[in-house]
Amino acid sequence: MKTGIKETKELLGFLLGLSNALGESLEDGKVTLIDIASLATPLLDAPEALTGLTEIPSELSDLDDAEREEILAYAKEEFSIPETCVEEIVECAFDAAAQLTILVQKLIAACKKVS
């Protein structure tokens, strides 16, 4: 049964939104209050994006060509990523998502050991 790509797109959107905000904030080489405010917007999406984190591996394991194209189109359109580098940026975001998943799992395990 197909699992879809809802959680994958939510996490991808969060990571790309945060990356865009960080990139814009660092363009002038300094971080101001305005930069902090622009970072708040993607950070507000974090809870929703991270809620389905455990579903992403199964979504990616049965990813078909149409879903892959939908993800690439989403990244390109929503985040104005040039066609020439959209695949590379999405792959980088997936790598970040994998590392984030590992981090969350380790934090959960550590919290369970403490309690």
The string of pLDDT tens digits covering residues 4-21 is 999 999 999 999 998 888
Tokens of 88: 């590379």
The residue to which tokens 């699992």 are assigned: 3
Query: Model's pTM, two decimal places?
Result: 0.80
Please give the C-alpha separations between residue 70 and each of 4, 19, 61, 108, in angstroms, as whole numbers: 11, 20, 16, 32
pLDDT, one tens digit per residue, over 17-71 is 988 888 888 888 877 888 888 888 888 888 898 888 888 888 988 999 999 999 9
Tokens of 100: 């984030």
Report the distance separating Cα 88 and Cα 93, nearest Å: 9
Tokens of 42: 């993607």
